Amino acid sequence: MTEKVFIFDTTLRDGEQSPGCSMNFDEKLEMARQLERLNVDILEAGFPIASQGDFDAVVAIAAEIRRPVIVALARANQLDIDRAWAALKESARPRIHTFLATSDIHLQYKLHKTREQVLKQIAFAVGYAHSLCADVEFSPEDAGRTDRSYLIECCHVAVEAGATTLNLPDTVGYCMEPEYEKMFRDVKEGVPGMDKVILSTHTHDDLGMGVANTLAGIRGGARQVECTINGIGERAGNAALEEIAMAIRVRADVLPVHTDIRTEELYPASQLLTRLTGVAVQRNKAIVGRNAFAHEAGIHQDGVLKNAITYEIITPQTIGMPSNDIVLGKHSGRHALAKRYEELGYPLSKPELEQAYQLFSTLADRKKNIYDEDLLAIVNAGFEHLPETYSLKLLQSVASNEGRATATVELEKDGETFHDSATAEGPCDAAFRAVDRITGTPGTIVDFTVHTVGPGTDGVAEVGIRARFEGREFIGKSTSHNVVEAAARAYLQAANKAVYELKRAEENAAVASGSVHENKAVDRFFPQGF
């Protein structure tokens, strides 16, 4: 058996902190559950000192996700470490991850500290973390640009103070493969006691070298790799988990190591992240991009038909990507639908199945062939786990190439129906403005994406919207044959989230100020008065 490389997922920390990828509490928990299904070894759940939301998410993940090691990030000071430990306490397998920059550039311009001071701070922080938690990881931030002998000194101090994992980040994505590999060899050889310590990679993609450097780190002796789903992360992103896992699996002949990743969960993980963040991967993205298995050139198609091995080094099934075969039709029932979703890696709850079935039936009435892609588009549009304050009953829109577009919208709330109309430059905008007039919470579109799903001219439009309401951003997604309808539904979904969250924030503020009794919040979830 080859040596194992431990997969450390940081989608919910380094990934989540990148612009456009933020997730709320429920979304982080949903993602954490999928990461557990994917069988990651270590899951970095957040940076608890950064915000109350981050703290709460780490607490909840630590309490629910029991198999992987759960990590909380902390700067190298007592306050951060205490906060990380407080968030991790309920975890079955907690780890504190503390970091401090070690390159001269960071010491001089960011920390304004001497090398000596930084060494002392490492000794204190790692020692303090170790006094609380047996499993401690230390990262010398910007290791890639740190003077090598000083880096070895920093690592030595961290190991002596109790670090059990040493992570060597290429924080700014600057390293080339041979340099990154050598850094691992140097630290392994230069730091005493490394037989009891795991070395870890952490690479960024600024020069497009993230995954290549991770593999170089493994060649240099790393046995933990830090990465994110879809490669999301600061600036150009982190190394993509799916690319690392598949490179190791496909090329075990040159890289004789293995991971315990369940590769058939890679595509569902990628899709889920896209749904939660509204950030789609590019079509030609390795492993999980829509075109990753599409053969357009005739010569390729011919080869694949004769034997897939001619142009395919991975099968779509290996990563859990659904096939393009027709799977269901107009006469399929709930049972068949539930079964197919289960096979696709989406076990649906009863209310979710009901929502999915309604959307499926509408689609099947208009579209002859339903493919897995259509089914995924339905779940990826997202089920409303939050109460749907307003639901769309009717949309009428008129647009022409001359003059403004008009939309009339009918929404229902608590059994009451509301109508309104608006005009704008385009039909989608007119529909959004009509929704705003009813909800009274106007939004501004930050991002608007439209994709067609499935082959043929009867493809479905999948619309993703990120909109700002009262300074906060919310995501909505929907699918329909009619692009304007999909856009209106996606916008309404985002607006419903905004209405719900803003009301919740108001209630929390009222509780905090003492003007409302605390049970108010409980009443909302248990209206029968539990």
Chain positions contacting ligand KIV, by CB under 6 A = 14, 99, 139, 141, 167, 169, 171, 202, 204
Could you tell me the smallest distance in angstroms from the CB atom of residue 238 to ligand KIV?
A: 8
CB distance 315 to 348 below 8 Å: no
Task: State which residue, 78 or 317, has the beta carbon closest to ligand KIV.
Answer: 78
Min. distance of Cβ 155 from ligand KIV in angstroms?
14
Q: Answer yes or no: are the C-beta atoms of 249 and 260 closer than 8 Å.
A: no
Mask: binding to Zn ion, 7-46, rule CB under 5 A, as x and -? -------x--------------------------------
Nearer to ligand KIV, 130 or 202 (CB): 202
User: Residue 358 contacts by C-beta under 8 Å, 6 or more apart in sequence?
Assistant: none
Give the amino acid at 422: A
Min dist CB 109 to Zn ion, Å, is 18
80 binds Zn ion (CB under 5 A): no
Where are the strands (E) in 119-268, listed by range?
136-141, 165-170, 198-203, 224-227, 257-258
* Separation between Cα atoms, residue 87 and residue 259, nearest integer Å: 28
Q: How far apart are the first and last CA of the chain?
A: 55
Instruction: Write the DSSP assignment of 317-379 as a string of letters.
Output: GGGTPPPSSEEE-TT--HHHHHHHHHHTT-PPPHHHHHHHHHHHHHHHHH-S-EEHHHHHHHH
State the binding partner of 433 from Zn ion, ligand KIV, none, CB within 5 to 8 A by kind: none
What secondary structure letter does DSSP report for 185? Answer: H
Q: Which helix (H) or strand (E) holds 97?
A: strand 94-101
If binding is defined by CB under 5 A, does position 137 make contact with Zn ion? no
Q: How far is the CB of 60 from ligand KIV (least distance, A)?
A: 22
Residue written as token pair 């129906």: 417
- Residue 268 interface partner, choices Zn ion, ligand KIV, none, CB cut-off 5-8 Å depending on type: none
Comparing CB distances to Zn ion, the nearer of 14 and 462 is 14
Q: Which does 141 bind (CB under 5 to 8 A by kind): ligand KIV, Zn ion, none?
A: ligand KIV
Using CB distances below 5 to 8 A depending on partner kind, what does residue 139 bind out of ligand KIV, Zn ion, none? Answer: ligand KIV
For residues 225 and 476, give the distance between their C-alpha atoms in angstroms, rounded to a whole number.
33
Residues 6+ apart with CB under 8 A from 119: 153, 154, 157
- Which of the choices Zn ion, ligand KIV, none does residue 382 contact, using the CB cut-off of 5 to 8 A by kind? none
Q: How far is the CB of 12 from ligand KIV (least distance, A)?
A: 13
Comparing CB distances to ligand KIV, the nearer of 144 and 278 is: 144
Q: State the nearest-atom distance from the C-beta of 16 to ligand KIV, in Å.
A: 12
Q: Which residues bind Zn ion (CB under 5 A)?
A: 14
